[in-house]
Chain A
Amino acid sequence: MLKFTLKRLGYMLVVLFIVVTITFFLVHSIPGDPITAMVQDLPEETRTVYLARYGFDQPLGVQYVRFIKACLCGNLGESLRYPGRKVIDIVRNYAPVSGVIGGLSLAIGFTIGILCGILAALNRNKWPDKLIMVIAILGTTIPTFVTAAVLQYLLTVTWPIFPTTGWGQAKHIVLPVLCMCVGPVATYARYMRSSVLDTVNQDYILTAEAKGVSQFRIVTRHIFRNSFLPCITMICSSIAGIFSGSFIIESIFAIPGLGKYFISAINDRDYSVVLGLNIIFTGIYILAMLLCDILMALTDPRIRYSNDR
């Protein structure tokens, strides 16, 4: 197990390096530069001074080597759009914001989704199943910007229950989380339902029923456990997405999260922030995948067996 993990970790670094290289050249191939993006009336000599200040007048290869060197020293650089802010501080400050909203909505969405999925599967083709599935499908088919805009107007203007926008207090969290957990609820409900249906048809369930095991016990001990396993893969990739935040939700509710920061960084040509965030996001993604593999290996003896072999 340890060897497996270490091997994967080493391999992860290689992947990270290649991804960083690809994005470095991608980002620098976008037309425009940070200062032209910001200042409309920029005299040529000021632009020259600016480009020299940040080393953009150098050939791309030289910039790349310098960037990689800095990365190896753990220095992700400084924002160009917001001079003086270190990329690492930006992550430290805003990742928790996206994390709180994303994490809460994932946790809530996951729990409700799983429960709904089980409920639907156990009542297959009866009204609870149909109701849940219609809601679940609708939940995945309405664009977030539609849901968020409607909910925002209804719950902050028509019935002023929540603050419209802002960040800092518990009341600011409710609406964004509400909008964001619609997706996970729907996805997990559908996924869990089909997973449970697969499990219900297995022979060991039949055996348990024949042995006279109580229905409750069958559901909790056999069905839930076994159908839950495939969901682990999904939750791992969802967890990886938590910190990258949601651009739409963060814009509509004016939340200072990483999602908004990332998209505006691309628009502002804030190279160092785009690259830095990309390293972080990719790192988290790969880590989550590793975590997922380990979890799967721990929970499912069959996989462990095939790995050892």
Chain B
Amino acid sequence: MSQIKKNPPSDAFAPGDFEIVGADTAQSERFARRPVTYWGDALRRFRQNKLAVAAFFLLLLITIMTIAVPMLSPYDYAKQDLKVRKQWPSADHWFGTDDLGRDLFTRVWQGGRVSIAIGVLGALIVAAVGCVYGGIAAYFGGWVDMLMMRIVEILSSVPNLLVIIMMSIILDSSSIPTLLLAMTITGWCPVARLVRSQMLQISRSEYVMAARVMGVPPLQIVLRHMIPNTLSLIIVNITFRVPGFIFSEAFLSYVGLGVQPPNTSWGALASAGQANLLFYPYMMLFPSLFIALTMLCFTLMGDGLRDALDPKLRR
């Protein structure tokens, strides 16, 4: 770019005052700052949402606590001490003790491990299976798509609760993996539908059509357009689904089909505490509080992510 000197004083310019510096045509298209990528933009918008950021850090804190507390705590979450049964929160036992004298502070964080693991893993499994299934259906189209979607329809017509309960009884739900299997066996259906319809929608959209016309190879289209555009949807979906899994596990614990002792979960702790509700409300309070808090964080974070990732709301 050319430089222009400031207005000279009274006397006129002489040609010698000017100097040819040339024009850098190569750099002329360059932006003043680095181009904003989709993810960078999303991150910026996510950061602006203070509530979502706070939720994210709170979740991070909860996760760290669930890992650290059971390791560092002087109490073992499964160790019973009948001398200190049903004690209210104190300096020794921050959240009190349960009916067998186990330290609730340690148990709540240990339960958090299981609950969060079930929530996150459940959502991830559902998302992964749903993506692959929905992606295949959308990619091949035709009778493959037709058949695959009919299967989804049939699976999602079986009442969900029935499937979960029967699977846990049949699989003898003594471990977390079987529990996860029972919960996800039909849970991926809505994700598959969602992914398929999103993929179809994108593949019919103008910019994909334009890319095709311009001769971009299919793999490139899938990598550049289909996946990023679906990914945002899936990420949002995962964050919204995590609380659902935590909640289902709590329900299963209430019915008696949740995680098996000595392991525990927030749901199991809360339903154990429900029996002592009147006299030892803290037994139910802490686990329910953490269920609520975690779900709240995931919801807020999900809201934030959706606003950040959804191009429609970009304004």
Tell me the A residues contacting B by CB distance below 8 Å. 15-16, 18-19, 22-23, 26-27, 29-31, 137-138, 140-143, 145-146, 149-150, 153, 201, 244, 247-248, 262-263, 266, 274, 278, 281-282, 285-286
Q: Which residues of A contact B154 (CB under 8 A)?
A: 15, 18-19, 22
Q: Which residues of B contact A22 (CB under 8 A)?
A: 154, 158
Jot down 9 A-B pairs with beta carbons below 8 A, ordered by A. A19-B158, A22-B154, A30-B166, A137-B296, A141-B243, A143-B267, A143-B291, A247-B255, A281-B159
Q: Which residues of A contact B247 (CB under 8 A)?
A: 143
Q: Which residues of B contact A244 (CB under 8 A)?
A: 159, 161
Which of these, A138, A149, A266, contacts B169 with CB under 8 Å?
Answer: A266
Q: How large is the interface on B (under 10, 10 to 19, 20 to 34, 35 or more residues)?
A: 20 to 34
Q: Which residues of B contact A30 (CB under 8 A)?
A: 166, 169-170
Instruction: Provide the bound-state CA to CA distance between A282 and B296, in Å.
Output: 32
Instruction: Provide the bound-state CA to CA distance between A15 and B291, in Å.
Output: 37
Interface-lining segment among B65-73, B216-224, B269-277 = B269-277
B288 in the interface, Cβ–Cβ < 8 Å?
Answer: yes
| Binary flags per residue of B166-191, CB closer than 8 Å to A gives 1, else 0 | 10011000000000000000000000
Instruction: Provide the bound-state CA to CA distance between A22 and B155, in Å.
Output: 9
Q: Which residues of A contact B267 (CB under 8 A)?
A: 143
B292 in the interface, Cβ–Cβ < 8 Å?
Answer: yes
B165 in the interface, Cβ–Cβ < 8 Å?
Answer: yes
Instruction: Provide the bound-state CA to CA distance between A86 and B277, in Å.
Output: 39
Q: Which residues of B contact A262 (CB under 8 A)?
A: 162
Q: Which residues of B contact A146 (CB under 8 A)?
A: 270, 274, 284, 288
| Binary flags per residue of B258-279, CB closer than 8 Å to A gives 1, else 0 | 0000000001001100100110
Asked whether B159 lies within 8 Å of A282 as measured between CB atoms, the reply is yes
Instruction: Provide the bound-state CA to CA distance between A263 and B251, in Å.
Output: 13
Q: A143-B247, A247-B255 are in contact. Are A26 and B170 (CB under 8 A)?
A: yes
Least distance between B301 CB and chain A CB atoms (Å): 12
Instruction: Provide the bound-state CA to CA distance between A22 and B170, in Å.
Output: 14
A138-B292, A146-B288, A247-B161 are known contacts; what are 20 more A-B pairs with Cβ within 8 Å? A16-B157, A19-B157, A19-B158, A26-B170, A30-B169, A140-B299, A141-B243, A141-B292, A141-B293, A141-B299, A143-B247, A143-B254, A143-B267, A146-B274, A149-B274, A247-B255, A263-B165, A266-B166, A278-B162, A282-B159
